[in-house]
Homo-oligomer: A and B are copies of this chain.
Amino acid sequence: MNIKERLLKGDRRACARLITMLENNDEEAISIIKDLYRYSGNAYVVGITGAPGSGKSTLTDKLAKEFRKEGKKIGILAVDPTSPFTGGAILGDRIRMNDLTLDKGIFIRSMGTRGSLGGISKATWGAVKVLDIFGMDYIFIETVGVGQSEVDIIKLADTVLMVTVPNLGDDIQAIKAGIMEIADVFAVNKCDLEGADRTALEIEMNLDLSENKDYRPPVVKVAASRNENIQELVEKLLEHREYLERTGKLKERRKNNAKLEIIKLAEEEFIRLIMDKTLEGNLLDNLVESVVSKEIDPYTAKDRIMSLINS
């Protein structure tokens, strides 16, 4: 059996293999997804984000277990911050060795990238498709909620869950504000800590300022490590899904996500294209020389490259 057939039959190793190929920016993986794309569309994608230390991995695991009780098959993609230089995932080789990994209805994977600008988004978005084709009912993408690349990744989700904890610094709160606007459900984790009520209240106050009167993101206090209120959180996630489906907003959201993805894919190909075209005669290097010696400015250098692409 080839890898396509194996994936459709639910072969975990085929699934893992394809995701690795995506991380390695292997074009064959893309062509396999193209062929199998019609089998996708069943999975519902939940993006789970939160500041470092918010306990979102633990919470993700607990959510997965809760969904398993209903017999749902769960894919988990843990996306790690990447280094711009090594291109490697910092936490990339972290493997969650817990009871979840023994459950055949769960597929957990840490995602890193082997290089290339924007590679982690492309690989993650590809992995979501693989898990969807693989037959997962829910796919959780878990990522640190800071930085544009993380926001790019989380934006493809159908429902975004933001995990927060009491007593993080104000600056951290401010950073999260970028995510706050795209969060559909909030979890205040470690709710046994002092300050949990205040954190929940602050989120509620922030939500009071929101424009959307149609849907108000719920704020759920949970204690993931003690398994408290996980079921309530699951209910809220399902309610958001139900809201999106009822109002036709799910289709709207998926359109936005598809648009974003297409553009990002084009952008990535463009970069490859200019790299190829400017390789001849060291054009890029010569332009760089001229910019550094102030003969031309970077904007003019850019114009010259653009004229190549169009010719």
Chain A contact residues, CB within 8 Å of chain B: 30, 33-34, 37-38, 40-41, 52-53, 81-86, 90-91, 125, 144, 146-152, 155, 169, 171-172, 174-175, 177-178, 181-182, 251, 254-255, 258-259, 261-263, 265-267, 269-271, 274, 284-285, 287-289, 291-292, 294, 296-302, 305-306, 309-310
- Is the CB–CB distance between A178 and B52 below 8 Å? no
Q: Chain B nearest CB: distance from A120 CB in Å?
A: 9
Task: Out of B146, B152, B289, B306, name the residue touching A255 (CB < 8 Å).
Answer: B289
- Is the CB–CB distance between B84 and A262 below 8 Å? no
- Is the CB–CB distance between B85 and A181 below 8 Å? yes
Most buried by B among A30, A150, A182, A298: A298
Complex CA gap A91/B291 in Å reads 33
A-B complex: 3 closest residue pairs judged by Cβ atoms = A147-B147, A52-B171, A37-B297
Q: Given that A84-B151, A265-B302 are contacting pairs, would A34 and B297 also be in contact in the complex, using a CB cutoff of 8 Å?
A: yes
- Is the CB–CB distance between A53 and B172 below 8 Å? yes
Q: Tell me which residues across on chain B come within 8 A of A302, comparing CB atoms.
A: 262, 265-266, 269
Q: Tell me which residues across on chain B come within 8 A of A34, comparing CB atoms.
A: 297, 299-300
Task: Out of B37, B83, B125, B270, name the residue touching A267 (CB < 8 Å).
Answer: B270
Q: Tell me which residues across on chain B come within 8 A of A306, comparing CB atoms.
A: 266, 269-270
Most buried by B among A81, A177, A284, A301: A81
- Is the CB–CB distance between B33 and A299 below 8 Å? yes
Most buried by B among A83, A274, A297: A297
- Excluding A52-B169, A52-B171, 7 further A-B contacts by CB distance (< 8 Å) are A38-B294, A82-B178, A146-B175, A255-B288, A255-B292, A262-B302, A270-B270
- Is the CB–CB distance between A53 and B169 below 8 Å? yes
- Is the CB–CB distance between A299 and B175 below 8 Å? no
Q: Tell me which residues across on chain B come within 8 A of A171, comparing CB atoms.
A: 52-53, 144
A-B CB contact pairs (8 Å), 30 listed: A33-B297, A52-B171, A52-B172, A52-B174, A52-B175, A81-B174, A81-B175, A82-B178, A83-B178, A85-B181, A85-B182, A86-B181, A144-B171, A146-B175, A148-B148, A251-B292, A255-B288, A255-B292, A258-B288, A258-B292, A259-B284, A259-B288, A261-B298, A262-B287, A265-B299, A266-B305, A267-B267, A267-B270, A269-B302, A270-B309
